């Protein structure tokens, strides 16, 4: 199972922190540690030859320890998170991907009982449809995490799993790059998840989640099936609550029959009737009583198990609806300063660059540099310097640029 802190997209904002001096004594500690790992690796099914070949010349990357310990310096509001993950660009890219891989998606849907839009939505959120895989060598990151820092036992299991993937010749070592914590490929599976759940779907005998889209799509479907996905259920619905409804019983796990929610006056926002009957559903209020509300089924729990965050599961669920042709959320988030799409984030970065700030490449990823530049620009414009890339900041930068343009 992957978890929230390992995804490439989720951790991209932290990568700017990754530059730490490498203490000399760590090199000795690392060689000693590697020698001690050989025995347990062999017990886990790695051959001596594999271990020796692929640990020779390894040096630790202490930056991953900083990333392991890094506390997010900025709490992302759910409306920023959703605006960046479910934007028009990702819907367009996803629909193009679904058309391109329609035959494989249909075949995966038939075999695993997970519909094409759901599979594609996971693909889009995990790796932007195979475009963002992460660039850190797994053997380096995972051997470092096996020898230093918190959770060494967990990362040793992942390190040995990586060696087994190489040993079985499914994926070449140089292709095994990913997030700092070892999530890799188009599905961003951890190596142990790969060993349990990856499938060969293009029939070449290798389970290749890096270069084979069919293998990646079918492996995602297999993951969701094993997590309890039920092909006869929707993930849930955006719903409207009756005025004055008591929401004390809200919560994904607090499930009650759909019919009981309907009896309380809960309706779908699109005017369709709630499916009646006994289907258990929980009331999800990601931003509290005054934001969008959702009734979610056990299929939402299957999405949740992919990355252990409700905001993550909601991004996939909502993206899958958009890929099926559905519209944006009907209810507004409780803010007067909504989030930015990736196109708008790139525009904000270009406007900062035009003002002379260094934000690196305008890539639509709002990291430390972009936030610091934005804070400085906000000060310059007489605005509260919170460094948050939202609609108000974008509008202020647009107005400032327009004021400077003659004519
Ligand atoms: Ca294959």
Q: Indicate if the pLDDT at residue 1 is higher than 50.
A: no
| Strand 280-284 versus strand 267-268 pairing type | unpaired
Quote the pTM value.
0.91
Q: Indicate if the pLDDT at residue 403 is higher than 70.
A: yes
Q: Where among 187, 207, 225 does a domain terminate?
A: 225
Active-site option among 104, 126, 238, 344: 126
Mean pLDDT of 297-315: 95
Angle between helix 298-307 and 310-323 (nearest 10): 120
Strands (E), 219-356: 236-240, 251-257, 267-268, 280-284, 293-296
* 199 and 57 inside one domain: yes
Q: Is the dihedral of CA 120, 125, 129, 135 positive or negative?
A: negative
**Token pair for 384:** 């509260």
Q: Where among 191, 225, 259 does a domain terminate?
A: 225
113-148 pLDDT tens trace: 999 999 999 999 999 999 999 999 999 999 999 999
* 370 and 221 inside one domain: no
**In-domain check, residue 269:** no
Structural domain total, the chain: 2
pLDDT of residue 73: 67
199-242 pLDDT tens trace: 999 999 999 999 999 999 999 999 999 999 999 999 999 999 99
Range of the domain at 378: 342-404
Q: Where among 170, 190, 225 does a domain terminate?
A: 225
pLDDT of residue 120: 98
pLDDT of residue 314: 98
Q: Indicate if the pLDDT at residue 291 is higher than 60.
A: yes
Going from the Cα of 105 to the center of ligand 1, the distance in angstroms, rounded, reads 15
pLDDT of residue 30: 95
Give the long-range contacts of residues 209-212, CB within 8 A, separation 24 or more: 209/171, 209/184, 209/185, 210/133, 210/171, 210/175, 210/176, 210/184, 210/185, 210/186, 211/175
Confidence of residue 365 (pLDDT cuts 50, 70, 90): very high
What is the number of other CB atoms lying within 10 angstroms of the CB of residue 231?
Answer: 13
15-40 pLDDT tens trace: 444 444 456 677 889 999 999 999 99
Q: Which residues pair with 137 in a beta bridge?
A: 177
pLDDT of residue 406: 64
Going from the Cα of 95 to the center of ligand 1, the distance in angstroms, rounded, reads 23
90-112 pLDDT tens trace: 999 999 999 999 999 999 999 99
CATH number, domain containing residue 7: 1.10.8.350
Going from the Cα of 101 to the center of ligand 1, the distance in angstroms, rounded, reads 15
Q: Indicate if the pLDDT at residue 71 is higher than 80.
A: no
Going from the Cα of 93 to the center of ligand 1, the distance in angstroms, rounded, reads 23
**In-domain check, residue 109:** no
Q: Indicate if the pLDDT at residue 5 is higher than 50.
A: no
pLDDT of residue 15: 42
Going from the Cα of 213 to the center of ligand 1, the distance in angstroms, rounded, reads 9
Mean pLDDT of 253-282: 93
Going from the Cα of 3 to the center of ligand 1, the distance in angstroms, rounded, reads 25
Mean of the per-residue pLDDT values of the chain: 92
pLDDT of residue 369: 94
Going from the Cα of 220 to the center of ligand 1, the distance in angstroms, rounded, reads 14
pLDDT of residue 70: 83
What is the number of other CB atoms lying within 10 angstroms of the CB of residue 299?
Answer: 23
Q: Which residues neighbour ligand 1 (ion) by CB within 5 Å?
A: 200, 202, 204, 206, 208, 212, 215
Going from the Cα of 186 to the center of ligand 1, the distance in angstroms, rounded, reads 13
Q: Which residues pair with 236 in a beta bridge?
A: 296
* 36 and 165 inside one domain: yes
126 counts as catalytic:
yes
**In-domain check, residue 100:** no
Q: Indicate if the pLDDT at residue 14 is higher than 60.
A: no
* 147 and 10 inside one domain: yes
**In-domain check, residue 301:** no
């Amino acid at each position: 199972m992957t978890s929230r802190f390992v995804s490439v997209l989720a951790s991209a904002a932290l990568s700017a922190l990754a530059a730490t001096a490498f203490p000399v004594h760590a090199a000795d500690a690392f060689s000693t540690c590697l020698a001690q790992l050989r025995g347990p690796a062999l017990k886990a099914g790695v051959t001596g030859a594999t271990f020796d070949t692929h640990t020779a010349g390894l040096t630790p990357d202490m930056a991953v320890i900083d990333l392991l310990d890094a506390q997010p310096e900025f709490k992302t509001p759910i409306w920023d998170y959703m605006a960046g993950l479910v934007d028009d660009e990702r819907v367009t890219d996803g629909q193009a991907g679904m058309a391109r891989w329609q035959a494989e998606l249909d075949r995966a849907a038939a075999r695993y009982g997970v519909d094409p839009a759901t599979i594609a939505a996971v693909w889009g959120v995990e790796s932007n449809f195979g475009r963002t895989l992460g660039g850190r060598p797994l053997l380096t990151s995972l051997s470092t995490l096996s020898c230093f820092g918190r959770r060494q036992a967990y990362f040793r299991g992942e390190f040995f799993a990586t060696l087994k993937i190489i040993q079985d010749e499914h994926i070449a070592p140089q292709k095994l790059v990913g997030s700092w914590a070892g999530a890799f490929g188009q599905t961003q599976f951890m190596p142990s998840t790969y060993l349990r759940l990856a499938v060969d779907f293009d029939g070449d005998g290798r389970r290749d989640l890096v270069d084979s889209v069919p293998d990646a799509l079918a492996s995602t479907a297999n993951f969701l099936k094993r997590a309890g996905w039920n092909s006869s259920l929707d993930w849930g619905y955006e719903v409207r609550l009756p005025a004055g409804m008591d929401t004390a019983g809200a919560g994904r796990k607090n499930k009650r029959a759909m019919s009981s929610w309907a009896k309380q006056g809960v309706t779908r926002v699109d005017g369709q009737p709630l499916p009646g009957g006994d289907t258990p559903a929980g009331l999800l209020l990601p931003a509290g009583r005054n934001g969008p509300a959702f009734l979610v089924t056990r299929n939402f729990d299957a999405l949740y198990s992919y990355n252990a965050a409700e905001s993550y599961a909601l991004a996939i669920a909502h993206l899958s609806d958009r890929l099926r042709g559905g519209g944006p959320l009907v209810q507004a988030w409780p803010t007067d300063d909504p989030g930015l799409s990736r196109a708008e984030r790139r525009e904000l970065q270009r406007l900062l660059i035009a003002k002379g700030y260094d934000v690196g490449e305008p890539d639509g990823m709002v990291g430390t540099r972009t936030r610091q530049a934005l804070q400085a620009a906000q000060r310059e414009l007489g605005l509260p310097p919170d460094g948050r890339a939202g609609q108000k900041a974008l509008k202020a930068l647009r107005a400032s640029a327009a004021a400077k343009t003659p004519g």
